[in-house]
Amino acid sequence: MHFQPLCSGAGLRQLLRRAPIALMAFSLAASAPVAVTATEVQPPFTVNGMKQSIRPGDDFNGYVNGGWIDSTAIPADRSHWGIDGQIAEETDKRVAKLIEDAAKGGAGRTADARRVGVFYASFMDDSGIEGKGLTPLRPLLQRIASISDKSALARLLGSTLRADVDPLNATNFFTENLFGLWVAQGLHDPAHYQAYLLQGGLGLPDREYYLSKDGKMAEIRAKYLAHIATIFKLAGFKDADRRAARVYSLERKIALSHARREDSEDIAKADNTWSGDDFADKAGGLDWAAFFDGAGLARQQTFGVWHPGAVKGEAALVGAIPLAVWKDYLRYHAINHFSDDLPKTFADAHFALYGTVLSGTPEQQARWKRAVEATNAALGDSVGHLYVDRYFSADAKARVQAMVGNIVKSFALRIDRLDWMAPATKIQAKEKLKTLYVGVGYPDRWRDYTGLEILPNDALGNAMRAEEFAYRREIAKFGKPVDRTEWAMLPQVVNAVNLPLQNALNFPAGILQPPSFDPAASDASNYGAIGAVIGHEISHSFDDQGSQFDAEGGLRNWWSQDDLAHFKKSAAALAAQFSAYHAFPDLAVNGQQTLSENIADLAGLTVAYDAYHASLVDQSAASDQQFFVAFGESWREKTRDKALRRQIATDGHAPAQYRVATVRNLDAWYAAFDVKPGQRLYLAPESRVRIW
C-alpha cells in the first residue's frame, strides 16, 4: 500500500504473488518519550538534485528534487521515472542475469532453476513465437467457438476465473475476466478462508473511462474501440469493426454496473455473505451452478460478494446479451490478454493502447524486461530465491528488523500519549501492535512449483499453465488452516504492503537497497526514507480501513464513538488538504480516494521521526534537515501527463509531489527549515493535521 506498482494496466500480468513465511513479532517494551525542541535553524543539508533557489516553505518537493527534475528525462519506455524506477531497473538487470545463468545451467540445475530458465528462454524466443502465429491459442478460441448455450458460456466464464485481485491493496481495481476472485480469511471468521467475488470484465482501467463526459476520456474511448477492431483484424476475423462495436458496447454496460473506486474501498459495502443458492435468486441471468463448477468452486458453501451491484448487473447481462456477442467478447480478451506471448504485431497493438494512449509512454520496453516481468509473474518465488541468495545479506535484514522494532515501539508510545483516544481503545490498538507480524526481505518458506509444467519453445502454453497453477493453488486453501504469515509480494519487488486481515506487513528485499535503505548511510537518512515507509505500512493497521480490523484480522469496530468521531474529523481535514492540490487546471487530486495512503504517509513520517530521535544517544547530533530531505528525496519522480491523469482517476495513491508535501503537517519541519507565514506550504499550527 505504499508505492505505485511497477506494472499496471489491463492485460498485463500481475506482478504480485503470495508466498508463505514465518514472520517476526516485535515486543513493545516501553521507553521514555523523546522531547525534541529546535531552538535555531540548522545549517543547510544538501543532496544531489536539490534546487536551493526554491524556498522549502514554498515547494518542498521542488527544493529537494527540483534540480533532478529539471535535468532528467523520463526514459522512452517508461510512463514515470524516479527513485523507485531506478532501483527497479537495477533490480531487473540483476534478475535478468540470474535468470539467464539459470537458462544456461547444466544438468546440476535445481528443478526451480530449470523452470525459470526454460520459461525465460521460451518468452525470449521471438522467431519461434512469430512462426507459430495464433496456433497456440487455437484450442482456447475453439472452445469459445463451440459454446452452444448460456450454460456452456457460464462454464467457460468460470474456467477463466483467476485469483489475482486483492481489493484492499489493488491499485488499479479491475480484471479482464468477468469476475475476479480473492481468497483470504473471512471478515467475520479469521480462522477460515473465504472466497470473495469481485467485479471485473473491463478492458479499460476503471468504469469512469467508459462513463466520464471528459473530452480526454472520450478520446481514449475512441482509441480503445479502434484497438479492439485492430485485434480482430490481426486475428483474421471478418467484420472486425462490427465485432469491436458490440464488444465495446457490452463493456460499457458492464461498467455501468460497477462500483466506484471509493465504494470499493468501503468495507461496510463489501461485507456481503451469500450462500451458493443465493446467487440464482439475487443475481439472475447466469447459470451459477455451471459457473462455479467451471471455476472449481462447486463445493463452496458461502461467498463474500465484494460488489453485489456489479455481480447482479454482470449476471443479468449474461442472460440478456446474445451469445454471439459474448463469444466475440471472449475472443478479444483471450487474444488481448496473452498478446505478449503472440507475434509482435499483437504485442505492439497492445502497447499502443495501454502504454502510449493510456500512459503516454513512447516506446515499449525491451523484450528482456518484459521477459523478467513475465517470469516473475509465473515463478516469482523461484526467481526471488535466486535474488536474495545473491543480493540480500543477513546483516541488512537484521538492521531493518531493528529499525522496525524501534518504529513499532514509537508507535506504541504515540498511542499512549494520545489525549483523544479512550483507554479501552488504546488497549485494543496496543494489542494489534503486539500481534503484528513483520516480514523482512523474503519468506522463510518458499512456494513449491512442483507440478507446474514449463516446456521449451512454448511461451503461450507456459503462461497459461502458470496462471492455472496459481489459481488452483489459491482455491486449494479452502478447508486448510489460515496462514496469517503468508506473503503478498515477491522478494525482488520494489514495494511494501500492509495486509489488514492478516495483521501483517511485507518489506521485500527489492525495496531494502540504496537509496531507500543504505547500511552505510546515516540514521537520519535511513529513518527519513525507509523508516517512513516502515511507519507508513504499520500505520495502515490504524488508518480509515485498517482500523476496522482487530488484532486477529476480524472486521470489528473496536473504537469508541468519540474516538471514531475525532479520527474521522482529522481524516476529513487531510482529505480536504489533498483535494486542494491541482495537478492540472481541470483535474485535482481526490482526497477521499487517496485518504488511506495520505493518512499512512502522515503517520509514517511522524512515527519515523520519533523513532529516529529515540535511537540517538546524543540529541545534539540530530539532523532534522537530513531526515526530511531524505523523505522528500524518496519521492523523487517525474510522470507523463497521460499517466498522471490516469493515476488521479484510478489510483489510491496521491502523485509523488503531493506526498512530499506531507511535511507541512509536522511542527519539526517548520523549525528545521525556518518556514514562516506567507510561504505557500505554511499551515497555522491549528490547521496542521494531527492524527497519531
Q: Write the CB contacts of 27 (distance below 8 Å, at least 6 apart in sequence).
A: 405, 434
pLDDT at 38: 40
Q: Both 409 and 500 in a single domain?
A: yes
The predicted model gives 568-580 an average pLDDT of 95
Mean of all residue pLDDT scores within the chain: 90
| pLDDT at site 44 | 76
Place of cell 496469517: 484
Q: What is the mean pLDDT of residues 142-164?
A: 96
pLDDT band at 167 (very low <50, low <70, confident <90, very high): low
Query: What separation in angstroms does the CA of 658 have from each of 351, 587, 635, 653?
Result: 29, 14, 9, 10
Gap between the Cα atoms of 24 and 39, Å rounded: 39
Q: pLDDT tens digits, residue range 79-130?
A: 999 999 999 999 999 999 999 998 887 666 789 999 999 999 999 999 999 9
Q: How many CA atoms lie within 13 A of 103 on its CB side?
A: 22
If asked whether residues 55 and 158 sit together in one domain, one would say no
Identify the domain containing residue 609 by its residue range.
47-76+396-448+477-687
Residue 89 lies in a domain: no
Q: Clarify whether residues 157 and 281 are in a common domain.
A: yes
Q: What is the pLDDT of residue 175?
A: 66
Instruction: Please give the residue that has the higher pLDDT: either 427 or 41.
Output: 427
What CATH number is attached to the domain comprising 166? 1.10.1380.10
Q: At what angle do helices 323-337 and 150-159 cross, to 10 degrees?
A: 20
- Identify whether 356 is part of a domain: no
Phi, psi angle pair for 638, to nearest 5°: -125, 140
Q: Is the pLDDT of residue 592 over 90?
A: yes
Q: What are phi and psi of 439, to 5 degrees?
A: -95, 125
| % the chain with pLDDT above 70 | 92
> What percent of the chain stands above pLDDT 90?
83
| pLDDT for residue 105 | 72
With a cut of 90, say whether residue 42 has pLDDT above it.
Answer: no
Q: What is the three-class DSSP state of 624?
A: helix
Question: With DSSP H G I counted as helix, E B as strand and the rest as coil, what are the percentages for the chain, rounded to 5?
Answer: 55, 5, 40
In this prediction, residue 36 carries a pLDDT of 38
Q: Are residues 296 and 403 in the same domain?
A: no
Is 235 inside any structural domain? yes
> Is 454 a member of any domain?
no
CATH of the domain at 551: 3.40.390.10
Q: Do 181 and 279 reside in the same domain of the chain?
A: yes
- For residues 491-529, b (16+ Cβ closer than 10 Å) or e, as one string? bbbbbbbbbbbbbbbbbbbbbbbbbbbbeebebbbbbbb
| Nearest Cα residue to 380 out of 200, 179, 164 | 164
C-alpha 73/C-alpha 356 separation (Å) is: 17
Question: Is residue 145 included in any domain, yes or no?
Answer: yes
pLDDT tens-digit readout, 601-628:
999 999 999 999 999 988 888 999 999 9
pLDDT at position 446 over 80: yes
Single-letter residue type at 567: F
Q: What is the pLDDT of residues 325-337, one digit of tens each?
A: 999 999 999 999 9
- The model's confidence at residue 1, banded by pLDDT at 50, 70 and 90, is very low
Task: Calculate Rg over the CA atoms of the chain.
Answer: 25
pLDDT value of position 166: 62
Q: Which three cell numbers stand for residue 90?
A: 537495477
pLDDT value of position 95 = 95
* 215 SS3 class: helix
**11-34 pLDDT per residue, tens:** 222 222 222 222 222 222 223 333
pLDDT at 6 over 70: no
Question: pLDDT confidence of 46, banded at 50, 70, 90?
Answer: confident
Query: What pLDDT, in 10s, does the model give residues 497-545?
Result: 999 899 999 999 999 999 999 999 999 999 999 999 999 999 998 877 8
Provide the pLDDT for residue 23. 23
How many domains does the structure of the chain reveal? 2
The confidence band for 663, taking pLDDT boundaries of 50, 70 and 90, is very high
Whether 317 has a pLDDT exceeding 80, the answer reads: yes
Identify whether residues 336 and 400 lie together within a single domain. Answer: no
Q: Is residue 460 part of a domain?
A: no
Together in a domain, 505 and 579: yes
Last residue of a domain, one of 278, 307, 342: 342
Q: Are residues 56 and 198 located together in one domain of the fold? A: no
Q: Roughly what angle, to the nearest 10 degrees, separates helices 308-320 and 240-257?
A: 150
Residue 92 lies in a domain: no
Give the mean pLDDT of 476-483. 93
Please give the average per-residue pLDDT across 400-404, as a whole number. 94
Question: Do residues 227 and 349 touch, judged by C-beta distance below 8 A?
Answer: yes
Tell whether 414 and 285 lie within a shared domain: no
pLDDT at 13: 27
